Structure 1
Amino acid sequence: MKRIKITENWINMLLEITDRDEVKLLHVSSLPFREETIRSEEEKHAFRLVEIGLSGQDRPEERHGMKYTVTAPGYRMKYVSHEEQRNEDGKKLEIVTKDEATGVYVTSHFQFYDGISVVKCWSQVENRGNDSQGLEYVSSFNLNGIEKEGLLPRDQKMEISVVHNSWQREVQWKSYTLPELGLEQSQPDEKLRSSKEFGITNTGNWSAKAYLPMGSVFNKETNTRMFWQIEHNGSWHWEISDQAGHLYVQLSGPTENQSHWYQQLKAGESFTSVPVAVGVTEGGLEKAVEELTKYRRRIRRRNKDNETLGVIFNDYMNCLWGDPTTEKEIPLIDAAAEVGCEYYCIDAGWYADGGWWDEVGEWLPSKKRFPGGIRKVMDYIRSKGLIPGLWLELEVMGINCKKVKELPDECFFLRHGKRVYDRSRYQLDFRHPMVIRHANEVIDRLVTEYGIGYIKMDYNIEPGIGTEVDAESFGQGLLEHERAYLDWLGSVFEKYPDLIIENCSSGGLRMDYAMLSRYSIQSTSDQEDYRHYATIAANSPLGVTMEQSAIWSYPRIEGDEEETVFNMVNALLMRVHQSGHLAALPPERRDLVKEGLDYYKSIRHDIREAFPFWPMGLSTFGDDWVSLGLKCGKKNYIAVWRRGGNSWAELPIPHLKGKEVKLRCAYPSYERCEYNWNREGGTLRVVIGAPVAARLFEVEMI
C-alpha cells in the first residue's frame, strides 16, 4: 500500500494505492484525514478515483438505480503512475489508471492554485487498445465519504445547497437537509446503497436555465463546506447519493442518460472531460464565496474591462425595448454623456425595418431606422466621448433571414435529418468553417466599419440535446459545437483584445465560467421590476465576480426620487448597466443618476478587488429588507434596500464587531434616513421612512 498526501492552500487531500493497485481517493477536506472515518476495507473499495462507463461492460457489483457507482470499467481501473509538479498556478497532480481488458487509460488531473482553497479537476480518457470503445460517462471529480467528519448522524448534520436560476428569477440559493431530499437514512451503514440520487442536471445549450452549474455540501457539526462549479457552457450533471456506508458527490459534463451524450473512441483516440472546480473551507458561506471569487479572478482572461469597470448605457430595458431610430437615440446619447456613461450600446432592432425576431442573421443596419447610416450614429456617440456598442445574437439565424438559404444544412443543428427550430430561429453550428467565416465577417464589419468597442452578445433560444451532424450522438455534436464556440471567442479576443463582449442569454441563462473565463462581463437578468432586481443584484456574487456582474439601473419616467435611488443602488456595487428614458427624466432625478455614477467611479477600483458578504443573509423575493456588503480592506460598502415591512433593520456585521468605525451614507447625498453603529454588538441599525427605498453606506475601520 502507498499513499499520496497533499496539503495545499488549506486543502487536505489523500489518495491510496492499494496492494491490488487500485487508486482510492480517500479524502478532500479542509480538515485532516482521520483513519477511523473509514471503517473497513469493504467501504474503502467504494472510494474510487474516477467513474467511467463504456458500452458493453458488465457491472457485477451490487448497486441500485441509475447512479454512477460501480461503473464499468470504473470499478476495475488499476494504478499506472502518478506525477507531482509545479507550474505558474501552483501544484499539479496527475494520476494515470488503466483497464487491462479494454486498454482504456484515464489521467485524472488536479490543478491547485497558490493561495486559493480550490482545485480544478478533469479526466482525460485514452483508448490505447485495439478495439473501438463507446464512452457513455466519465466523472471529472468523484469523492465518496463527504459526510464522514463529525459524530452526528448524517441526517442531522448535512445540508446540500443548490443555486436555482431562471428567466427574471436568477441566482436563488436554496439549502436542503437529506430528509427533505428523500435521502433520509433507512438502512444500516454497511448496506447503504439506495436507488435514489439527488441529481442536478442541465441538458442543452442554455447552461444555467434552471440552475447555476454549481453547488455545495455543508457539515453543520464541523462547520466545514465543500463547494464546486462546473465550467461548461452546455450540458452538465452532478449528483449526491449513498454508497457503501457513505455519501458521495460526482461532477461531470454531459452524460448519455441525462443529456444524450455518447462518444466512440477509436484506437488511439482520446476525450477530455469538462473541467470542474472544487473548494473546501471551514466557516460559513461567505468564506466559500471569497475563495471562489479569488479563483474566478485567477482563471479568467486578463482584460482591461475588469480593471476599469466602465459605465455602460444600453437603450433597451424600460427604454426603447428594441425599437431604435436615429431620432430616438440622439437625445438618449446626449443624456447618457451628460450623466457620465462611458459606453453606449444600441440594443436589438438596429438591423430590421420592422419586426426583427425571425429575420435576424445578416446583421446589416436598417436604412429606415438610420436614414443617414448607422455609422453616423456611431460617430455621434464618439463625439460625445462615449464608446459605441451594438447588440448581436450571432449564434442563430431567423427562419426568414435571407442568408439561411445560402448556407447548407450542415451549418445548422440537425436532428433526424431536419433543421432544429426554436422560436423561429435556427441554431448555427460553430464547427463548420462557413459559420466561422460568417461570424468573423460580422465582427470585423462591426469593429472596422462601424467603429464599435462593445458588443452585447445575446442568445435567446434553447436548441435542446444537440445535433447529429458529424457525431455519434446528439450530445457529442452539442459538446463539440460549444467547445468550437469557445475557441472562436478566443480568436476574437486575440484579434481585438480591447473589445468588450457582454455575455447575455435572455439575461443570466448562460452564467457559467466556461463563458466567463473569456467574457469580461455578464448580463445578470431581464428582470423589469427594480424592486425584484434588488434580490438578484444582492445574490449575484454567488455566480459571478462583482466586476463582471452587469446590473440594470432603469429609472422610470413615472417614478420619483426614491425610485431613482433604488435603481442606482441596485447597480453601484457591481457593473452599472444604465438605461431608462434619461432624456425625459426631471432634472433633479437625472442629477441623482449623475451623482450615483460619479460616486461609482470613485469606488470602482475597490470593487474589482472586493469580497462579498451578506449582513442579512442571502435574499429571497419576499424579503422586506435586503442587504449586500463588500469588504475592501479597511473599507466596507453596504447596500441596503427596503421593500416594505418595518421602517428599521438591524444588520449584523460580525467581522467589524468591537471595532471603531467611521460611518456615512455615501449615496444619496440627501440621506433622509437614520443610521448608527453598535460597536459592542457589531450591528448597523438603519431607519428608512419611505416604504420602498435604498441607501448605500460606507463603513471604514479607524
Structure 2
Amino acid sequence: MRTVNGGAMWDYGNRRRDYRREIRRWNEDNERLPVIFNDYMNCLFADPTTEKILPLVDAAAAVGCEYYCIDAGWYADGEWWSDVGLWQPSERRFPGGLQKVLDYIRAKGLIPGLWLELEVMGIHCPIAQQVPDEWFFMRHGKRIIDHGRYQLDYRHPEVIQYADEVLDRLVMEYNVGYIKMDYNINAGIGTEVNADSFGDGLLQHNRAYLRWLDSLFARYPDLVIENCGSGGLRMDYALLARHSVQSISDQTDYRKFAAISAAAPTALTPEQSAAWSYPLKEGDREEVIFNMVNGMLMRIHQSGHLADITSDRFELIQEGISYYKSIRASIPKALPFWPIGIPKHGDHWLSLGLRCGEKAYVAVWRLEGGTKEARFPIPGCDGKKVTVRCGFPRQESRSGSWSQLEGALVVTLPTEFTARLYELHIEEE
C-alpha cells in the first residue's frame, strides 16, 4: 500500500466515498448545498432574543446565507438544560412571539430553522413527571439520568406520538424548514425495558428511532435535519445515510478547526460535512480568511457576530460565500484527496483537495512553525501542465504556483495561521 497521495490509497478512498453516496437517501439539500447561518458558535451561544437575532438576520442575508437557524435556548426564559421537553417558545425572549422572528427571517429571503434535542427530556420538564417510566431508558428499576436528562425510548408508541406532535407543530405552525437535531447525553449500555439485555434494548431503540426518522422524511421530504450530536458525535452511517448535514465539531478555536475540516472527508462525504466559519468580533483579515477556508470545501455553517465586524472583513465573508456558491455544484461529485497526508498532531501545514475531473480545489492552511513555503503533490498530475489561481481570496494569486516537474502546487504563506483556497485547471493529455 502506498502513501495517502499514492494511487492505491487514492483508488481505495474513492471507492469508499462512492459507496457512501450510493447508500445515502437522495435529497435536494445534498445537491444544492445552501449556506446555513447558525447563531450559536462564537455568537449568541444559546441565548437568543428578538433584539439580538434581527441584526444577525440582516447580516446573514447580506453575506449570502440561505438558511438561518436559531440555536438552543429559544424555548426557555432562563436556564434550560434540565427543563427541555415542552418545546414552546419563550415569551420573555420573543416579546412579539417567535413567529414574528421567523416571519422576519423569511422576509429577508432565508429559510428559518430551530434547534431541538428530541431524544431526551429534562428531569425538571413537567411532562416527565406525568408519563410512565416505560417512556424512558431504565436500568435496575430506575430511570437513567445523564447530565440532568432522561433518554426517551422510541419503541414506545406514545413517545413517537409526542415527537411527531413537536415536529408537526414546528413545521406546520411555524413553517420551519431546518431542524438542528442535537444529542448531548450518553445513555450508556441501554435499557432493560422489554429487552433480553441492556444492549438488546439499546439496539431496538436505535432501530425504532431510525424508523421514526424515515417516517419524518417521508412526511416532509423538503425538511433539512442536521445531525449534530454534541457538535460531531454519532457520526455513523445509520444516521448519515438519512441526514443530509452532519456537524463535524463544536471546536471554538478556528485555528484548531482546520485539522478537523481537513480530516472530515475520511469519515463522511464533503457535501454532508458542516464546518463552522465564525469570524471573531475583534480579528483581522487573515483570521476571516482562515475561518472561511475551514468550510469552503464542504458545507459552510456561518456564524459569528457579523453585524458587529468591520466592513472590510464583512466584505471578505461576502466574497467567500459568493465564491463557494460558484463551486458548490462540483462538491457532491468531487473526490477528496490529501496532498501531504491526513492531518496529525504537530503538523505545520495542512491540506485538503477535491478533484472534479479536470479541476481540483485545494485548501491549504499554514499553522504554527515550519517554513513559509510548502509543496503539495497532486495525485495523477506528474508532468502535467496545470494552471493555478487563488479562488479565495481572489487577490492572492501570487501565493501559489505550479511545479510541473514535481507535479505539485507550490504555496508561499509568510505568516503563521493563514489559509488559502486554490483552483487548479489540469490539462488532460
Q: Which bracket does the TM-score occupy, shorter chain normalised?
A: over 0.9
Within the alignment, does 1:437 sit opposite 2:161 as a pair? yes
Q: Which residue of 2 aligns with 1:544?
A: 268
Task: Tell me which of 290, 303, 323 is aligned to 2:27.
Answer: 303
Q: What is residue 671 of structure 1 aligned with on the other side?
A: 396
Partner of 1:393: 117
Aligned to 1:502: 226
The Cα of 1:550 is off from its aligned counterpart by: 0.3
TM-score for the superposition, normalised by structure 2: 0.97
Query: Can you list the C-alpha shifts for 1:156-186, whole angstroms capped at 9, x where unaligned?
Result: xxxxxxxxxxxxxxxxxxxxxxxxxxxxxxx
**1:681-692 superposed matches below 5 A:** 681-692=406-417
What TM-score does the superposition give when structure 1 sets the normalisation length?
0.60
Report what 2:183 is aligned to: 459
Residue 673 of structure 1: CA displacement?
5.1
The 3-state SS of whatever aligns with 2:238 is coil
Counterpart residue type for residue 313 of structure 1: F
CA contact (8 A) 1:673 1:688 kept: no
Partner of 1:514, secondary structure, is helix
Match of 1:638 in 2: 362
User: 1:699 aligned to 2:424?
Assistant: yes
> Separation in 2 of the partners of 1:379 and 1:486?
31
Correspondence list, 1:511-530, <5 A? 511-530=235-254
The residue matched to 2:82 in structure 1 has which SS? helix
3-state secondary structure, aligned to 1:431 = coil
| Residues in 2 aligned to 1:620 and 1:453: alpha-carbon distance in whole angstroms | 38
Contact 1:673 1:689 in 2 (8 A): no
CA contact (8 A) 1:659 1:679 kept: yes
Which letter does structure 2 place at the counterpart of 1:689? P
Q: Does 1:404 align with 2:128?
A: yes
The superposition leaves residues 213-243 of structure 1 with CA deviations (integer Å, 9 ceiling, x where unpaired) of: xxxxxxx4xx699xxxxxxxxxxxxxxxxxx
> 8 Å contact 1:672–1:688 — kept in the other structure?
no
**Cross-structure match for 1:585:** 309
One of 674, 680, 687 as aligned partner of 2:405:
680
Q: Percent identity over the alignment?
A: 61
SS in 1 for 2:333: coil
* Aligned with 2:212 (options 488, 501, 510): 488
* Between structures 1 and 2, the one with greater helix share: 2
Deviation (angstroms), 1:675: 2.0
Whether the 8 Å CA contact 1:318–1:554 is kept in 2: the answer is yes
Gaps of 5+ in 2: none
Distance in 1 (CA, whole Å) between partners of 2:28 and 2:361 is: 23
- 1:659 and 1:465 map into 2 onto residues whose CA distance is 54
Structure 1 gap ranges (5+)? 1-219, 226-281
1:355 corresponds to:
79
SS at match of 2:237: coil
Secondary structure at the residue paired with 2:189? Answer: coil
* Distance (whole Å) between structure 2 residues aligned to residue 285 and residue 351 of structure 1: 48
Contact kept in structure 2, 1:325 and 1:369, CA below 8 Å:
yes
**Higher RCO (C-alpha 8 Å, min separation 6):** 2
Question: Which residue number in structure 2 is paired with residue 28 of structure 1?
Answer: none
Cα shift at 1:392: 0.2
Shift in Å, 1:670: 2.7
Query: Does structure 1 retain, via aligned residues, the 8 Å contact 2:7–2:379?
Result: no
Shift of 1:334: 0.2
Rounded to whole Å, the distance in 2 between the matches of 1:513 and 1:491 is 18
RMSD of equivalent CA atoms: 1.3
Specify the structure having the higher radius of gyration (Cα). Answer: 1
> Quick one: which amino acid aligns to residue 404 of structure 2?
R
Give the counterpart of 2:172 among 425, 436, 448. Answer: 448
Asked if the contact 2:390–2:397 (Cα under 8 Å) also holds between the matched residues in 1, the reply is: no
Q: Amino acid of the residue matched to residue 481 of structure 1?
A: H
SS in 1 for 2:121: strand
Distance, in Å, in 1 between the alignment partners of 2:405 and 2:103 is: 57
Deviation track 1:638-696 (CA, whole Å, cap 9, x = no partner) reads 00001122111111113111111111011002317522111121111110122111000
Q: How does 1:215-226 map to 2 (within 5 A)?
A: 220=1
Higher mean C-alpha displacement, 560-569 vs 674-683: 674-683
Q: Distance in 2 between matches of 1:224 and 1:326?
A: 52
Q: Which residue of 1 aligns with 2:331?
A: 607
For residues 699 and 373 of structure 1, the distance between their equivalents in structure 2, rounded to whole angstroms, comes to 49
Task: Establish whether residue 597 from structure 1 lines up as the match of residue 309 from structure 2.
Answer: no
Please state whether the residue corresponding to 1:664 is helix, strand or coil: strand
Give how far 1:443 is off: 0.3
Residues 1:647 and 2:372 aligned together? yes
1:570, CA displacement in angstroms? 0.4
Q: Residues 205-220 of structure 1: matches in 2 within 5 Å?
A: 220=1
Matches within 5 A, 1:158-237: 220=1
In the alignment of these two chains, the number of paired residues is 425
